[in-house]
Structure 1
Amino acid sequence: MTIEFSRRVILKQLTGVAAGAALVSGGGALLAPATAVAADTTWRRSTSANGWSIPNARSSVTGTCDIQGTGLTVVLREGDTATVLAYLAQRFHYDVARLESERGEIVGYRADREVRADFESNHLSGTALALYPEIYPLGVTGNFFPYQVTAIRDILAELGGVVKWGGDMKPAMESMFFIDVPPESQQLKQVAATLREWQITPSKGAGTQNVEDPKRIKASKALAKSQKG
């Protein structure tokens, strides 16, 4: 009796499996699971998405930069790019959120050509800065309070629009900032020159701005309107 019951149960289970297979396969034989084909996300161009050349080796155009006021450093493209992005990080530290090594990694130049969004390729040319990308990852929005977004917008406006925020990209990456003008940009040169002047001028530069100033807010809103992807 026990043997017959077990057989009925087994047959019933096998019948259920066969029926399920028929539903999956449209009544035919059970189909083998499809093998997923990963998309090729390797950046193969000689320039990054913003038009800057990608060096063959880090030492050729990049160097380690201090983020003043933080005790932290980041590897960036030397010259005007480093001046602008390091200043942005300093202002982020003062006006948006403190930069601390314990919180995570600050990424500038990187050699890894695997990208999930085209604008991530800007790291390859040393013209991008990501402040804690693991905390503020690609595709996740709403990481900052409104007053922090106001400060970010103010920083971008102060830099004359030569830097774009990843929060305005699609998909968004709110941790990322990158140079948004070509290598020959005179605007970039002028902004960098101004920042270097501020470094030796009392009461100028990071930590001295009133981000609630109506004129500054008006300027930042106008830039945001033009930069949003």
Structure 2
Amino acid sequence: MTPSSVPRRAMLRGLAGAGAGAALVSVSGGLLVPAHAAEAADGAGPAAGTPGDFPASLNGWPLADRTNAGLGVWSRPVSGAGFTLDIRLGMVETVLVHIVRRWHYEIETLRKGEVVGWRPIGELDAAAPESNQASGTAVAIRPDAYVKGVRGGLTKIQRDTVESILEDVGDVVRWGGHDRTPYEALFYIATPPSQETRPADRPVAELADKLRGWNQTPGLGAGSAA
């Protein structure tokens, strides 16, 4: 069996385990991958350097096979909601927590266990947007209520609020309800980490800065209209 014939899901699972605790480095295109993967990308072979071979979720962000272990994904409080969320630290955290808080204040009150951030790649479809949870760059809000493959779980008012939330985040975040296979619980970062290495175009960082400014300004930010 050649490297290129290995199913992508199996490769992702293997790399997720092999990448545990490994240092992340930047390779071609600015993609952040464990050092051992970068070495493979520099070597010979038909599969070397192809994006699908890196230990990343569908949106290109590096996988973590556990939380709170120096892999970038940590349990973080959701201000005003009373629970924590396993999420990628920093700018991704700011963006996704904003979405969760707006849902909490404007759509329905959320409780501990009803919002799921990071999950191990082995529990997910590695070829689907839900794989982004394994890199800490996606959240599923009440996934038992808004199940994958089912459309129409939200009322018109709730859907209008979701569209308002999406206006806040622009193209940086995609809602699973807009995907071909709908998953109305899912929100995920839609831009790859390679874009964050360009000084003139850092969409996630710029959005996070905007949201932090809202949070510090009376009358703006999540919950201001509650």
Task: Give the TM-score normalised by structure 1.
Answer: 0.68
Query: Could you tell me which of 107, 110, 113 is aligned with 2:122?
Result: 113
**Match status 1:65 vs 2:81:** no
Per-residue Cα deviation, 1:51-85 (whole angstroms, up to 9, x for no partner): 11113443210111222221111110011001100
Q: Which amino acid aligns with 2:122?
A: R
2:98 maps to 1:87: yes
Q: How far does the alpha carbon of each residue in 1:147-200 deviate from its partner, in whole angstroms, 9 at most, with x for none?
A: 111110110111122110011112111011000011134111111011112222
Q: Secondary structure at the match of 2:188?
A: strand
Would you say the 8 A contact 1:109–1:124 is kept in 2?
A: yes
Instruction: Determine if the alignment matches structure 1 residue 197 to structure 2 residue 206.
Output: no
- Is 1:180 equivalent to 2:196 in the alignment? no
1:152 partnered with 2:148: no
- Picking from 179, 201, 207, the partner of 1:169 is 179
Work out the CA distance in 2 between the residues paired with 1:43 and 1:156: 33
Shift of 1:209: 5.4
The residue aligned with 1:100 is 111
- 1:139 correspondence with 2:106: no
Check if 1:44 corresponds to 2:11.
Answer: yes
Quick one: distance in 2 between partners of 1:42 and 1:107? Answer: 21
For residue 98 of structure 1, report the CA deviation from its aligned partner.
1.5
Q: Is the CA contact (8 Å cut-off) linking 1:43 and 1:114 kept in structure 2? A: no
Deviations 1:24-48 (A, max 9, x none): xxxxxxxxxxxxxxxx894633110
Query: What's the C-alpha RMSD, in Å, of the aligned pairs?
Result: 2.0
CA distance in 1, matches of 2:109, 2:82: 12
Aligned with 1:88: secondary structure?
Answer: helix
The separation in 2 between residues aligned to 1:187 and 1:97, in whole angstroms, is: 29
Deviations 1:120-149 (A, max 9, x none): 110110000001111111111111011111
CA 1:181–1:43: 2 relative to 1, 3 Å: farther
Q: Give the whole-Å Cα distance in 2 for the aligned partners of 1:41 and 1:135.
A: 29
Distance in 2 between residues matched to 1:41 and 1:172, nearest whole Å: 22
Q: 1:134 to 1:153 in 2, by over 3 A?
A: same
In structure 2, what is the Cα distance between the partners aligned to 1:43 and 1:73? 30
Give the C-alpha shift of residue 202 in structure 1.
Answer: 1.5
- Paired residues in the alignment total 169
Which structure 1 segments of 5+ residues have no match? 1-39, 211-229
The structure 2 residue matched to 1:125, chosen from 108, 114, 135, is 135
Letter in 2 for 1:71: G
Normalising by structure 2, report the TM-score: 0.69
Are 2:65 and 2:134, in contact at CA under 8 Å, matched by a contact in 1? no
From the superposition, tell whether residues 81 and 43 of structure 1 become closer, same or farther in structure 2 (CA, over 3 Å): farther
The percentage of aligned residue pairs carrying the same residue is 35
Max radius of gyration: which structure? Answer: 1
User: Aligned equivalents of 1:41 and 1:105: distance in 2?
Assistant: 30
Unaligned 5+ segments in structure 2 are 1-6, 13-54, 197-201
